[in-house]
Amino acid sequence: MKRRFASQGHWTAALVLLCVAAFSTIAVGQELTLQHCWDAEREPLVHKMLAEFEPAHPGIKVNATLISCNELTQRFQVAVAAGVPPDIAHLGSFATVSFGLQGVLLPLDAYLERDGLSKDLWFPSELSVGQFDGITYGLPIRTGADDGNILFYNRDHFARAGLPDRAPQYWSELVEFSRRLIRYDGEQIVTGAIGRRNMIHYRWLYTGGTSLMSEDMRTVTFHSQAGVETVEFMNEFVNSVYRSFDDWTGDRPEFHAQSVSMLLSGPYELFAARQDSGIDIGFDLIALKGPDEIYRSANAGTHHYVIARDTKHPEAAWELLKWLTVRKESAGEFMLAQGRPSPIREYNFDPRYLEVNPEFPKFQYILARAVDIPMIPELNRVTTPFNQAFLRILRGDSGPVAALESAARSAQAALDEYWQRLEQQ
């Protein structure tokens, strides 16, 4: 472990030197615009980073705008159409790649190579969800592979139900624990077993041993035998735990209100629990298919900072981007202050993480073993048929095999159309 911390110190020193290398090339009197959605407790952390950036970069002024995370894509799109995009924008992975392929973002690979920033600094899946065809369009702000792949539980609810103080390890235990946790009062659910949103999600395909599509993004794979087994398990879960599918309600707000006992989410739940709800919260990896399975999760995207191609100050914007995503004293501390892992591997070996959370290495385990979901422009035309089939199966309107095969035909047609269109360009 000491060798790892020493390694981190070596990398940190190198990164700081690289981050300041370009300062002398930046002219004074430059103003940058930054669009982000770090609200609530995170906004002061952003202000702190910017307050430290400006004195370290004389002549650069940063004007930051806080907007809703739900509006990031739309606001950026409108700004691009109007010819006034922010120099630095906060975007999700799918939007990052989509805007990159439209030619409105500055590719970052030449800057990374020039400044000696190896792509090995990042967890592979965290960087790759902001890339397409080998081109990097954004650098990750926080991690995404842990989002939806961590099972949080209310320790008080578990004790009340006579359950052990640990998350369910396997699919069979998830059913068993849920049946003991759920509480009805007549026809009304008093306490739900687990939040619904991330349970009805295609990431379960990866935990179940399959995927949405092949690695070359040309062939749909979710209707494989492992895919059928995955949705059959979820169907069993609904029928075993709830009286009907429509009874399955509640998610994050209900978990923090302590009317739902478990939640699939990300490390920010620990930060939220400390700040707001005061839940005695425990957590572990998402339940595995069985004791012989190897842990495998899906990175369905994260958040990135990107640079608009039309920025008038590309060098200054690049310096700000590095400050917000690479520099340990700013980007690293931004994550540490929230008790959340950094997308840069080495920063997670800071011993202070163990003071915040002694079980923090579980997050690193998840991040190191995640599979990235390709942010192909046609992704929605693959996930939508699957999600619709998933719901039909859970509602009892269709059998698993027929529903998945029908969805796969639709998704495959979308993929074939996409690749044919590319080949004709």
> pLDDT tens for residues 32-64?
999 999 998 899 999 999 999 999 999 999 999
- 136 and 155 inside one domain: no
- 155 and 255 inside one domain: yes
* CATH number where 73 lies: 3.40.190.10
Is position 140 within any domain?
yes
- 240 and 201 inside one domain: yes
Is position 399 within any domain?
no
131 contacts: CB under 8 Å, gap ≥ 6: 97, 137
Is position 228 within any domain?
yes
171 phi/psi in degrees, rounded to 5: -60, -40
- 97 and 207 inside one domain: no
- 291 and 339 inside one domain: no
pLDDT interval class at 12 (50, 70, 90) = very low
Q: Smallest Cα–Cα separation from 7: which of 419, 375, 348, 405?
A: 348
Rounded CA separation 109/88 (Å) = 16
Best-predicted range by mean pLDDT (219-223, 249-253, 359-363): 219-223
Residue 86's domain comprises 2-145+300-372
Domain C-terminal end among 283, 299, 315: 299
Is position 395 within any domain?
no
- 167 and 137 inside one domain: no
pLDDT of residue 13: 42
DSSP string, 147-213: TT-EEEEEHHHHHHTT--SS---BHHHHHHHHHHH-EEETTEEEEEEE-STTTSSTHHHHHTT--SB
- 158 and 276 inside one domain: yes
Entry pTM: 0.88
Structure confidence by residue, pLDDT tens digits, 269-305: 887 777 666 789 999 999 999 999 888 889 999 999 9
Q: Beta strands 60-66 and 370-372: pairing type?
A: unpaired
Is position 154 within any domain?
yes
- 183 and 295 inside one domain: yes
- 184 and 216 inside one domain: yes
Terminal Cα-to-Cα distance of the chain (whole angstroms): 52
- 138 and 14 inside one domain: yes
Structure confidence by residue, pLDDT tens digits, 400-420: 999 999 999 999 999 999 999
- 79 and 171 inside one domain: no
Is position 165 within any domain?
yes
Percent of the chain with pLDDT over 90: 84
In total, how many domains does the chain have? 2
- 156 and 293 inside one domain: yes
pLDDT of residue 276: 64
Helix axes 43-56, 314-325, angle to 10 degrees: 130
The structure tokens listed for 281 are 């919260």
Question: Mean pLDDT, to the nearest integer, of 78-106?
Answer: 97
